[in-house]
């Protein structure tokens, strides 16, 4: 076993893109010293501080909660703060910006498309009626919370979009995280926003673009299950299409 303090060196290929030159992206190789506890993010920071100050990448919290440092590591979407160089040594490591997103510079991608999609699903509670603070909180049982809790853990890191071939093939697809968050609010007992969100959900670019590849749920660092959120809503969208959902609600099922 290697001692935890021993310093080794690993080669990292990083995809570089310079918007000023406009030349197609190319790989640049860096030799990075690391120890047992060096994350890929710290490796990138070493490059920026000691080898090449022009390298651009996003990061913030260093502890897998801000969702800023998502990259493709050897072709797999991962948080670079949550991945360790020791697991790749002595082989080389390849780092690409998140798949399917336009590159702004080096590892920084343009998230605009996702932000607009997130906006479109109305990711906030739509209560039946607003009540004044004096009336107290909206109450909820643990059982009711269980219905949406998993989906509320999303940190918008976009690994699921990089993992989704359907998003890559058809970029108009609303995509895993936005649809999981759409369901997160629909599944909340305090929310009555189904009809406000159904346009997005029922459209071709809503749940129907999904073919249940399921890789979104595999790569999620917070164990959110977007594939489950989307595919149970294919059932809901179908029930809605044939008018069954309306029928169920008039006889008192659902919300």
Partner 1 sequence: MSGRFKPAVKTYTRPVTGTWWKENPFFLVYMAREATALFVFIYALVLLSGVISLALGQSTYEAWQALLTTKTSLVFHLVLLGLLAYHTYTWFKVMPKTTPQIDVAPQTIVKTGVLFTAGLSVVIVAVLFGVTR
Partner 2 sequence: MKRANDPIFWSMFGAGGMLSALLGPVLIFITGIAVPFGFILPKSTLSYAHALAFAQNPIGKLFLFVVILLFLFHSMHRLLHSLHDFAIHSPKEKPIFYGLAGYGTLLGLISLLSIGF
Q: Which is nearer to partner 2, 200 or 229 (CB)?
A: 200
- For the packed helices 226-241 and 194-202, what is the interaxial angle rounded to 10 degrees? 100
The span of 63-71, 82-90, 113-121, 122-130 binding partner 1 (CB under 8 A) equals: 113-121
Coil, helix or strand for 23?
coil
Interface of this chain with partner 1, residues 18 to 57, rule: CB under 8 A:
19, 22, 24-25
Return the residue of 61, 125, 169, 248 that touches partner 1, per CB under 8 A: 169
7 makes contact, choosing from partner 2, partner 1, none, with CB < 5 to 8 Å by partner type, with none
CB 106 within 8 A of CB 16: yes
Contacts of 92 by beta carbon, 8 Å cutoff, 6+ apart: 10, 11, 12, 13, 29
Rounded CA-CA distance 97/77 in Å is 9
Please say whether the dihedral angle defined by the alpha carbons of residues 152, 157, 159 and 164, taken in this order, is positive or negative: positive
DSSP secondary structure letter of residue 81: G
Of partner 2, partner 1, none, which one sits near residue 39, judging by CB under 5 to 8 A according to partner kind? none
Name which of residues 179 to 218 contact partner 2 (CB under 8 A): 199-200, 202-206, 208, 211
Q: What's the min distance (Å) between Cβ of 181 and partner 2?
A: 17
Distance CA 37, CA 7 (A): 10
Q: Where in 109-168 is the site for partner 2 (CB under 8 A)?
A: 165-166
Footprint of partner 1 (CB under 8 A): 17, 19, 22, 24-25, 75-76, 99-100, 102-104, 110, 112-113, 115-117, 119-120, 146-147, 165, 168-169, 172, 187, 211-215, 217-218, 225, 227-228, 231-232, 234-235
């Amino acid at each position: 076993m290697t001692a935890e303090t021993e310093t080794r060196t690993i080669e990292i290929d990083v995809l570089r893109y310079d918007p000023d030159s406009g030349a197609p992206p190319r790989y640049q190789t860096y030799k990075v010293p690391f120890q047992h506890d060096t994350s890929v993010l710290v490796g990138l920071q070493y490059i920026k501080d000691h080898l090449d100050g022009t390298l651009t990448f996003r990061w913030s919290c260093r502890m897998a909660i801000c969702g800023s440092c998502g990259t493709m590591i050897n072709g797999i979407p991962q948080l670079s703060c949550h991945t360790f160089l020791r697991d790749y040594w002595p082989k080389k490591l390849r780092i690409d910006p998140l798949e399917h997103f336009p590159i702004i510079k080096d590892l920084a991608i343009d998230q605009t498309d996702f932000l607009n999609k997130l906006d479109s699903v109305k990711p906030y509670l739509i209560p039946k009626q607003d009540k004044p603070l004096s009336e107290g909180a909206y109450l909820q049982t643990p059982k009711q919370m269980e219905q949406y809790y998993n989906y509320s853990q999303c940190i918008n890191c976009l690994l699921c979009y990089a993992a989704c071939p359907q998003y890559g093939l058809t970029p108009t697809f609303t995509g895993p995280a936005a649809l999981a968050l759409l369901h997160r609010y629909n599944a909340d007992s305090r929310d009555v926003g189904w009809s406000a969100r159904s346009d997005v959900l029922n459209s071709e670019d809503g749940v129907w673009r999904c073919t249940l590849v399921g890789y979104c749920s595999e790569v999620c660092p917070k164990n959110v299950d977007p594939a489950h959120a989307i595919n149970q809503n294919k059932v809901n969208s179908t029930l809605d299409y044939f008018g069954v959902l309306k029928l169920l609600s008039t006889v008192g099922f659902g919300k």
